[in-house]
Chains A and B, each alone.
Chain A
Amino acid sequence: MKRHLMGAIAAGLTVALSVSGCGKGSSSKGDGSDGKTIKFVAAIYSDNTEPYWQALIKDFEAKNAGYKVQLEMVDWAQMDAKVKTYVQTKQVPDLLNYNAFSDFARDGLIYKASEVVSPQVLSDFSPTFVDQAKYSGEQYALPFISSARLLFYNKALFKKAGIADPPKTWADVKTDAEKVKKSGQIGYGLPLGPEEAQAEFYSWAMNNGGDWVDGSGKWAINQPANIETLAFLKDLNKSGLTQPNPETTDRKTVFNQFAQGKIGMSIGGPFTKASFIDPAKKNIDFGVAPLPTKAGGDPSTLGVMDVLASFKKDGGKNKEAVTKFLDFFYQKDNTAKFLTKEGFLPVTKSANDLLSADPYMKQFVDALPTSKFAPTGNPAWTAVAGAVKQSLGTSVADGDPKKVLDEIQKTAEKSG
């Protein structure tokens, strides 16, 4: 009996100790003690990402004795949940690689850009991206990588269908898609599933004069130009010129099909070649052209930018180490290495020239000046993008474009 009692007590104590022990262990881990060790949460873009950061950090630590960078790699699929948890449990990293920053700036969680990089680095960012990194007039985010979208078309399918040039207008897109369909393949690959519905939609809407906001910066998601855009895409779908069920198709599915030579046209980015077309080993003969516009005017391209943001911690003790690390990363060669490995476009003037050497990449670099961005400086954007991902696709299937956009507009106004 006594032995059992002792056993029970021992078990109870073990549980109690291990529970409290766990709690302590994880809470004390986040605090950088001397301000020389920083935690960096980086997103996984591809298999190349982690080795790149490991090598860079090793190099950094060798050249800056006493400074340490703890790297944590997070998959994009888990990023949102992780970041929310960090903030809510007050265990924010010193440096975060993410695709949004304005709500951190609004809630006073991150440093201004000028506080964590040297003036040289700050002045090296291309002006287009600096504009996107601002929250109410102040630059908070550090542009990290950028990307642009262009129309990919399969030259072999175009030749077979008797099409000479890539389409310039929406009417061209429809006729070309019809011709490709007649020759037995899918005319246009339209991904409006949750993965990136907002990017595909905006790529079309901006070339019809549509936008997320009006001239004064207020949400104008249900404006006529946007409704018209969806009506056009719906017509493509209902005429059987797209792949089946655009409302549930993600970008990766469309690009895998494009890489297999089964899709005539689709909108892609610089990463499309390295991530989809090359691995498929089909050697398809593809071309890249500006995005088609409604009436054939000057085309715009969709600009996308990911950022680095540095969280305030311990009354600013981490600033020095973060600055050292960021200045190191933004050295021309270090940045360019990341961009070429991952297939992204530069955000700094100094890396611009390095990347323009590759003719494939040059087309995207050249398109950057015409790029339009989602309103990422508005803290409500993430919620709006979320609403778009969830429901925009239904508008080209059974939903009514106007009603779907009205709903998203309502969400946008509710979020601020």
Chain B
Amino acid sequence: MHDVKPGVRDLGAPAPRSRPSAARRAGRALAPLLWLGPALVLIAVVVLWPVVEMVRTSLLKISSSGVTLGSTGSRNYLDLFDETDLIPVVLRTLLWVAGVVAITMVLSLALGQLLNARFPGRRLVRWTVIVPWAASVLMTALVWKWMLDNYSGLVNRLLLDLHVIDHPVNWLAHPDQAMLWMMWVAVFVSLPFTSFVILAGLQTIPGEVYEAARVDGAGTLRTYFGITLPLLRPSVLIASIVNVINVFNSFPIIWTMTQGGPGHATDTTTTFMYKIAFFDQNVGESAAMAVVNFVLILVMVLLYLRASRWREEIR
């Protein structure tokens, strides 16, 4: 027994030498987790878990009081696709997103340019542009709702005094007008963020490029479309994706100003989703709408990314 021990120790001797190296290798492989860990945990808890929960809810039957009554398979989805209002609401949502984001981008490109130019009082103008961003969206929407009020609204007063209209218009009661006004408010609250992203983009363009263009005799328009815009592409990309997601999910503006009414005439998928849960008392179907909404955004963003990278390759 006694003489075996050294032998064992001998057999084991190479092992201690290689074990630390394996552990070190594993340690080295795991080391990034220390840095990534907190972020991964955060993503899992804040992003992934709600998504899983949303999908799970969309497959459940939930009673009007809120009690879960078990699985229903695809019933909620079938109910949702059976809603006569669904298609118009989805189309309106796409129009709403495309309209608001396109107008916001065009205006922000101009505004970014203005903010980048040197002129007296520039700091003041920059601060002013931030104001709608700093104000709560809900408050902005409420203020606009009252300005557009049929009886005591400022807009009607102004237009009446200017003799543009001869009797008060109930702006938010007519779906088309209401949609346009709400798009305007959405543009108004999206402008600050977008124009500051553009401004940041403009400030990264080195002056030498412009100098070179000037030497080559390029005009203002040529410089803008040949240099500024292409070099702004990363900023425009980020700004539009963030805006698409924001505007798509925008709830307070529509809910405050028209509640998606009359009927469903100014609903987007987000307000429609809310109505299914809290007016129709169908949480499961509402979750199904949320999943569809989620997929729509994902597809839109992927398509957009695809399109912009595709252009990059062509060049």
| Chain A interface residues toward B at CB < 8 A | 5, 8-9, 11-12, 15-16, 19, 80-81, 83-88, 103-104, 106-107, 109, 193-194, 244-245, 247-249, 253, 257, 379-380, 382-383, 386-387, 389-391, 393-394, 397, 399, 411, 415
The residue among B45, B170, B265, B280 with the most chain A CB atoms within 10 A of its own CB is: B280
Which of B45, B62, B170, B280 is close to A244, meaning CB atoms less than 8 Å apart? B170
- 11 new A-B contacts, CB < 8 A, other than A15-B42, A88-B68, A109-B67, are A8-B38, A84-B278, A88-B283, A107-B65, A244-B170, A383-B64, A383-B279, A387-B280, A390-B261, A393-B263, A415-B280
Residue of A nearest to B151 (CB): A257
User: B223 in the interface, Cβ–Cβ < 8 Å?
Assistant: no
A257, B168: Cα distance in complex, Å: 15
Which of B34, B67, B258, B279 is close to A390, meaning CB atoms less than 8 Å apart? B279
Q: Is the CB of A88 within 8 A of B63?
A: no
Residue of B nearest to A20 (CB): B45
Which residues of B, 235-261, contact A by the 8 Å Cβ criterion? 258-259, 261
For the complex formed, measure the closest distance between the CB of A260 and the CB atoms of chain B, giving whole angstroms: 8
Q: Is the CB of A386 within 8 A of B261?
A: no
The prevalent SS among residues of A at the interface is helix
| Chain B interface residues toward A at CB < 8 A | 34-35, 37-38, 41-42, 45, 62-68, 150-151, 170, 172-174, 258-259, 261-265, 275, 277-283
A390, B38: Cα distance in complex, Å: 45
Residue numbers in A under 8 Å from B279 (CB-CB): 383, 386-387, 389-390
Residue numbers in A under 8 Å from B264 (CB-CB): 390-391
The residue among B35, B41, B151, B281 with the most chain A CB atoms within 10 A of its own CB is: B281
Residue numbers in B under 8 Å from A86 (CB-CB): 66
Given A81-B278, A383-B282, does the pair A15, B66 have CB atoms closer than 8 Å?
no
Residue of B nearest to A245 (CB): B173
Q: Is the CB of A379 within 8 A of B64?
A: yes
Residue of A nearest to B150 (CB): A244
Q: Is the CB of A103 within 8 A of B41?
A: no
Residue of A nearest to B259 (CB): A194
Residue numbers in B under 8 Å from A390 (CB-CB): 261, 263-264, 275, 279
Residue of B nearest to A92 (CB): B66
Q: Is the CB of A104 within 8 A of B173?
A: no
Which of A19, A109, A383, A393 is close to B262, meaning CB atoms less than 8 Å apart? A393
Residue numbers in A under 8 Å from B261 (CB-CB): 193-194, 247-248, 390, 393
A193, B257: Cα distance in complex, Å: 13
Q: Is the CB of A394 within 8 A of B262?
A: yes
A88, B282: Cα distance in complex, Å: 13
Q: Is the CB of B66 within 8 A of A84?
A: yes
A415, B67: Cα distance in complex, Å: 15
A369, B240: Cα distance in complex, Å: 61
Q: Is the CB of B263 within 8 A of A382?
A: no
For the complex formed, measure the closest distance between the CB of B52 and the CB atoms of chain A, giving whole angstroms: 16
The residue among A109, A248, A253, A379 with the most chain B CB atoms within 10 A of its own CB is: A248
Q: Is the CB of A84 within 8 A of B67?
A: no
Given A15-B41, A15-B42, does the pair A399, B278 have CB atoms closer than 8 Å?
no
Given A383-B281, A415-B281, does the pair A85, B66 have CB atoms closer than 8 Å?
yes
Given A11-B38, A83-B66, A88-B62, does the pair A383, B280 have CB atoms closer than 8 Å?
yes
Q: Is the CB of A9 within 8 A of B259?
A: no
Q: Is the CB of B259 within 8 A of A16?
A: no
Residue numbers in A under 8 Å from B283 (CB-CB): 84, 88
A16, B42: Cα distance in complex, Å: 8
Q: Is the CB of B34 within 8 A of A391?
A: no
Residue of B nearest to A392 (CB): B263
Q: Is the CB of A12 within 8 A of B41?
A: yes
Q: Is the CB of B63 within 8 A of A107?
A: yes
Q: Is the CB of A399 within 8 A of B67?
A: no
Which of B172, B263, B281 is close to A394, meaning CB atoms less than 8 Å apart? B263
